[in-house]
Structure 1
Amino acid sequence: MNSAWQQLTLANLSLAQWRGGSYLYRLVGPLQAWRQSSWLMQWSEPIGALLLSFVFGLAPFVSNGLIGMLLAACLGYWALLTISDSAESKFSTPIHLLVLLYWGVSTVATALSPVKQAALVGWGKLTLYLVLFALMARILRSPRLRSWVITLYLHVSLIVSVYGLQQWRLGTTALATWVDPESPLAKTTRVYSYLGNPNLLAGYLVPAVAFSLAACFAWRRWPAKALAATMTLVNTSCLMLTFSRGGWIGVVAAGFVLLMLLTHWLSTRLPRFWQTWLLPMVLGGVTGFLVLAVLLVEPLRDRVASIFAGRGDSSNNFRINVWAGVIRLIQDDPDNRLLPNYILGVGPGNTVFNKIYPTYMVSPRYSALSAYSILLEIIVETGLIGLTCFAWLLLTTFTQGWLQLQRLRNIGSREGFWLMAAIASLVGMLVHGLVDTVWYRPQISTLWWLMIAIIASYYVPQPLADKNSSAELPQT
């Protein structure tokens, strides 16, 4: 059973053998000689980190168009690095292979789309994100550069959260109808900071909460730990004040996973009593705090109650009707198409969705920019084939994350805290995305692929990882 799981998740895949037989991989490295003689390319990794710093440093504050230009610059730089790579520098993981497979499925879906021009726009955006992942997975192999990018994101998120708290204190005007006008929360301030939408802000802060909590353990000095604790409190408070139900569920899921991983990490270093009771005590304390907060804070209580209101809440009713229209779209088998929509979808991107969905929506009142669910959106774009590929990618990513976490735990490396935060953030963002549309905004998509890239950056082939761990274990 264990062997079958390892084969499914490519845990023991010999990438060296794959690279040796891959025609695609033979295209890598024709400019090796130029790179070896170039003074500037001696700083190739820091230059890549600088590009990533622009992406994550500016994302909350600038337009989507400018973010797209930065991603295009990342694509060009990744291409330059790739064609000038040496054999020793070539880096790939099982995660890379499945990202490439997902891109291939999306490419076929684009070619077969009933609105090819619109699908090509979405395919271009997806390609930018996936190339960003490839660049990040390469650059973040350096612990120093990885720490720099994470620290930058944490400081930017702190600025975003502080401004959100200021909006709560001073009051702000809603830029859209985010609350049912007939609900008790109709006049409640929902903060959105620089991102312009409270649900989008919540999606942006889910990883910030996880990483700021991890920083409390990863950063060594006490002033840095105090800053990390402040970040955790500020980010969590701002996320709660978005009153985004999906964001709340997402951060609870991320927090639960992170607490589980932290308990596992610390279990061998604690007395037997704490090994047994630490997790129940932490989970009990957090659960008690959340229950008391819901019971005692009226706006929070009303917002949580609306989750279970069904169609009685206008936001719930809107999503249910959008999902109904999307399911009709997925189930359709048009005569002018080679394959039913549920096999390979209608093509990637919201431009395709906006052209095709109006035919299937249950009422003109329920127009939508996307499917309001990651799973439904993936089926719309790439069909069940794409959904299967995406699920395979997630299984492989989480498996690799777990394997590398075990390796880092055995050698006692503090890098494990960042890895735990990335795994927890993926879970939180995935849970949030099940009921919301923010996952496809560039501010969130770049973070999603950052989490996957962080996990990929820790990759060490399993036989080598076992050898290194056993060699270093007596020293810890």
Structure 2
Amino acid sequence: MDVLLRRLDVEGWRSHSGVGRLLGLLQGWQEKSWLGRWLPSLAVLLVGLVLVLAPLMPSGMIGMLLAAGSGFWLLWTLAGEREGRWSGVHLLVLLYWGIALLATVLSPVPRAAMVGLGKLTLYLLFFALAERVMRNERWRSRLLTVYLLTALMVSVEGVRQWIFGAEPLATWTDPESALANVTRVYSFLGNPNLLAGYLLPSVPLSAAAIAVWQGWLPKLLAVVMLGMNAASLILTFSRGGWLGLVAATIAGVVLLGIWFWPRLPLQWRRWGVPTMGGLAIALCMGTIVSVPPLRERAASIFVARGDSSNNFRINVWMAVQQMIWARPWLGIGPGNVAFNQIYPLYQVNVRFTALGAYSIFLEILVEVGFIGFGVFLWLLAVLGDRARRCFEELRATGSPQGFWLMGTIAAMIGMLTHGLVDTIWFRPEVATLWWLMVAIVASFTPFQSKTANGTFSNRDPEP
């Protein structure tokens, strides 16, 4: 049984399904129409606009861009070639959406869940559009460059706030702690935890850019990006962001060690990877220990209910567990609107409400139950297997695209680690980045992957 969906025969389904035969229905129109010929380029432009405007514009405008991108994906799919590439990742994303739809229909608050389903649909269609675009290596690199340049701008504003000061827009720190007067930067995003979630993928991807970009000036720019993004993330004082940064760093060092393993002398194979990993961890720990505000903030992770933020999260997690067991199989329906209507029935502290479960995994369990959570874990397993096979082949050929893949894997591990203790995927600034990372992994195709009709190609014609 192919649990990891390595030999998924989508082409056989498309040739026998009425819905499948619709794909490529408008192919003749695309060949003759001026707009049809520009569909790929317009799709690239829309993905780039989402990446540039997500940290700068209101959520409503980002939603409009995502809706436009969804329309372009549908038109492009209907006008595209019949032998387009579909994979197990696409199947599981579609299955997850179907479970979310069923959870919405059976939700105790179906109207509120419908709002969340609409947002989830836009994010998943953004994944489909980004994956289609980034099958081309050149556009993959260019779109990642767009994100990194935007993240650099966001980081510069964060560092500027640290140097010149910035008034908090909300109470993010325990007023009774020693850090009550410490500036937590938030840049253009208005929330330090959200800023940490946004910048987290930029750190490993900046490190990957050092290897991918050619020439001293681009490499120097990548080094500046790496330093600014990491500094701004640390200055958010987001403990979940710090945990994610440590996890991403460890994952990146391990992947680099595996990448260079065959080329290393025997002595370096034995001690090189542990040494580099130890130095990376020591650098992170040394930075935190040497700066008193960072040390105080890091220490608060281990005081449990002794910190007001920890106490609040623990209360939320206790209430969320009751919500999960009340509707264990399909949950209450997707979205924070549904959560906000159900949570007051279970909350422990009646003085403070919660915007979410403060844990991605608990949030998925609440929204779509154990069935949806199982599909999400299945998706992660398929993505991991796909990334591993592509990584091995890219390493064998020495392709620089392997560094983008390593950066993406490290970014996803960091985002999942941050997600253990925070819920920031409701916001389009971070949700679009998560699905962009999924799209990057899905856009790589193992050369040995085959369908009933032949072999997949790892390169699509350039838009």
TM-score, normalised to structure 2's length? Answer: 0.95
Contact 1:397–1:456 (Cα < 8 Å) also in 2: yes
Find 1:317's aligned residue among 287, 311, 314: 311
Aligned-partner Cα distance in 2 for 1:324–1:288: 35
Aligned-partner Cα distance in 2 for 1:430–1:23: 38
The alignment status of 1:407 with 2:393, answered yes or no, reads: yes
Find 1:123's aligned residue among 101, 104, 117: 117
Deviation, structure 1 residue 276 = 2.3
| 1:245 corresponding residue in structure 2 | 239
The alignment status of 1:296 with 2:290, answered yes or no, reads: yes
Distance 1:21 1:261, change over 3 A: farther
Aligned with 1:252: secondary structure?
A: helix
Find 1:17's aligned residue among 12, 18, 37: 12
- State the one-letter code of the partner of 1:297: V
Contact 1:214–1:417 (Cα < 8 Å) also in 2: yes
Contact 1:12–1:462 (Cα < 8 Å) also in 2: no
| 1:66 corresponding residue in structure 2 | 61
Aligned-partner Cα distance in 2 for 1:155–1:451: 17
Contact 1:109–1:345 (Cα < 8 Å) also in 2: yes
Find 1:367's aligned residue among 349, 353, 356: 353
Alignment root-mean-square deviation, CA:
1.6
- State the one-letter code of the partner of 1:224: P
The alignment status of 1:344 with 2:330, answered yes or no, reads: yes
The alignment status of 1:147 with 2:133, answered yes or no, reads: no
Contact 2:317–2:358 (Cα < 8 Å) also in 1: yes
Question: Which whole-Å deviations, capped at 9, do the CAs of 1:206-261 have from their partners, x for residues lacking one?
Answer: 10001000111111211111111110011000000000000000011111111111
| 2:459 corresponding residue in structure 1 | none
Number of residues paired by the alignment? Answer: 454
Aligned-partner Cα distance in 1 for 2:3–2:352: 40
- Stretch of structure 1 that moved more, 281-290 or 403-412: 281-290
| Runs ≥4 residues deviating over 4 A | none
Contact 2:252–2:406 (Cα < 8 Å) also in 1: yes
% identical aligned pairs: 51
Question: Which whole-Å deviations, capped at 9, do the CAs of 1:410-434 have from their partners, x for residues lacking one?
Answer: 1111011111111111111011011
Question: Which whole-Å deviations, capped at 9, do the CAs of 1:72-126 have from their partners, x for residues lacking one?
Answer: 00011111111112213x2211100000000010010011111111111111100
Find 1:457's aligned residue among 430, 443, 449: 443
Aligned-partner Cα distance in 1 for 2:289–2:113: 47
Find 2:38's aligned residue among 35, 38, 43: 43
Question: Which whole-Å deviations, capped at 9, do the CAs of 1:112-154 have from their partners, x for residues lacking one?
Answer: 1111111111111000000000011101011111111100000
Contact 2:386–2:446 (Cα < 8 Å) also in 1: no
| 2:414 corresponding residue in structure 1 | 428
Q: Which runs of 5+ in 1 are unaligned?
A: 333-340, 470-476
Aligned-partner Cα distance in 2 for 1:186–1:14: 58
Question: Which whole-Å deviations, capped at 9, do the CAs of 1:165-188 have from their partners, x for residues lacking one?
Answer: 000000110111100011111111
Contact 2:250–2:281 (Cα < 8 Å) also in 1: no
Distance 1:278 1:468, change over 3 A: farther
| 1:337 corresponding residue in structure 2 | none
Aligned-partner Cα distance in 2 for 1:424–1:59: 22
Deviation, structure 1 residue 463 = 4.3
Deviation, structure 1 residue 464 = 5.4
TM-score, normalised to structure 1's length? Answer: 0.93
Find 1:204's aligned residue among 198, 203, 226: 198
- State the one-letter code of the partner of 2:367: E
Aligned-partner Cα distance in 1 for 2:415–2:186: 18
Distance 1:19 1:406, change over 3 A: farther
The alignment status of 1:75 with 2:70, answered yes or no, reads: yes
